[in-house]
Structure 1
Amino acid sequence: MMLGMVFTEFLEMVEQRYSPELADQMLTETPLANNGAYTAVGYYPFEEMQALVATLARLTGSSVPMLIQVYGEHLFQRFVELYPQMLEHCHDAFSLLASVDGHVHQEVHKLYPQAQLPTFETTEHTEQRLVLIYRSSRGLADLAEGLIRGCIGHYGETIRIHREDLPASDGISATRFEMTRA
């Protein structure tokens, strides 16, 4: 199951980036158990998000990975607006990204105890370099990359991202994000 906020924010992004009419068309053309009636605090099947993104890709001619990355950037900006207290302890992108598992996800669990979150393991953190290993049963590395890009943009930094998909293990996908300050 996936937190309803992920769905409501996705619909908001589609309305803002494209149009309310396209959002309605996407909902109408996607077979959904609840006809697209989502609440931010509810939980919904991950497969419905996959179906919505696939429909949006078909309607816009965009690729699914690109749409998910753009959504990740949008979602990061919404997190900044909705939960500014989660960023108070960070002074730059590396400090925030390195604290996702230790601080940010702890705060998310306080708000949404049933949330099933991915992990972000920090394997290297220096002034010039940050290496994170993203692991998830949902395989949403494109969303993670969008969130990372949104974070970098929020702090106005110039950071290069190298992404490497790693072998999956026990149904858990893994992706290595190596970030270097320019």
Structure 2
Amino acid sequence: MNERDYFTEFMELVEEKFGLDVLDEVLEMSGDEGIYTAVGSYDHKDLVKLIVNLSKKTNIDPATLQQVFGQTVFKTLLNAIPENASIGSSTSTFQFIRHVEDYIHVEVKKLYSDAEPPKFHFISETETDMVMDYQSARCMSHVCLGLIEGCAEHFGESVKVEMTPQTEDSSVVRFNLTLA
């Protein structure tokens, strides 16, 4: 997925969950025309602004909105994976998450050389626990949480997730995942 896909996915989610009127108001509040092209480059701060303004409009916490967005984006991400890709043969949440760093983030860099995908630094893993640091300049760890939840749902697993910021600006967040 490229930056445009995140914006269009977010707008589709808002329209589906809250209606076109709310989407129009959020775009207006954000000074955003809602037009994203495949060749454009978009600042993640604009997406954050849309999320914050949706939060103001709906009285739903921005972190919760990011989390729901992440759950939705997982389905799109899954559908975009080629059938012959090794990540597609994952059979568990932990296995899929491991492949994200090795496959998806590498492919993003191939397609968009100036892209800065988040990084996963794996600290430990057993059959039932995984500890990793999520590092992103975009500080959208709740989107990552939603992606993990969407992944676990896809594999029919129940995963308890604890998040602990490792830096003051939350650009690095430790995720402790436990299969229930």
Q: TM-score under structure 2 normalisation?
A: 0.89
Using the alignment, how far apart are the partners of 1:139 and 1:43 within structure 2?
A: 18
Deviations 1:45-88 (A, max 9, x none): 22211211111011111011110111011111111123254541
Residues 149 and 159 of structure 2 are in contact (CA less than 8 Å); yes or no, is this contact kept in structure 1? no
Q: What is the 5 A alignment of 1:1-182?
A: 3-32=3-32, 35-85=33-83, 87-168=87-168, 173-182=171-180
Q: Post-superposition shift, 1:109? A: 2.4
Q: Post-superposition shift, 1:40? A: 4.3
Using the alignment, how far apart are the partners of 1:47 and 1:3 within structure 2?
A: 11
In structure 2, the CA distance between the partners of 1:117 and 1:14, relative to structure 1 (3 Å rule), is same
Q: Post-superposition shift, 1:36? A: 2.2
Using the alignment, how far apart are the partners of 1:84 and 1:155 within structure 2?
A: 18
After superposition, the CA RMSD in angstroms is 1.8
Q: TM-score under structure 1 normalisation?
A: 0.89
The residue matched to 2:162 in structure 1 has which SS? strand
Task: List alignment gaps of at least 5 residues for structure 1.
Answer: none
In structure 2, the CA distance between the partners of 1:81 and 1:20, relative to structure 1 (3 Å rule), is farther
Using the alignment, how far apart are the partners of 1:76 and 1:40 within structure 2?
A: 20
Aligned residues: 177
**One-letter code of the match for 2:80?**
L
Using the alignment, how far apart are the partners of 2:108 and 2:88 within structure 1?
A: 15
Give percent identity, aligned residues only. 31
The more displaced of 55-64 and 159-168 is 159-168
Q: Post-superposition shift, 1:153? A: 1.0
Using the alignment, how far apart are the partners of 1:81 and 1:66 within structure 2?
A: 24
Q: Post-superposition shift, 1:89? A: 2.9
**One-letter code of the match for 1:99?**
H
**One-letter code of the match for 2:4?**
G
The residue matched to 1:37 in structure 2 has which SS? coil
**One-letter code of the match for 2:56?**
R
Residues 5 and 39 of structure 1 are in contact (CA less than 8 Å); yes or no, is this contact kept in structure 2? no
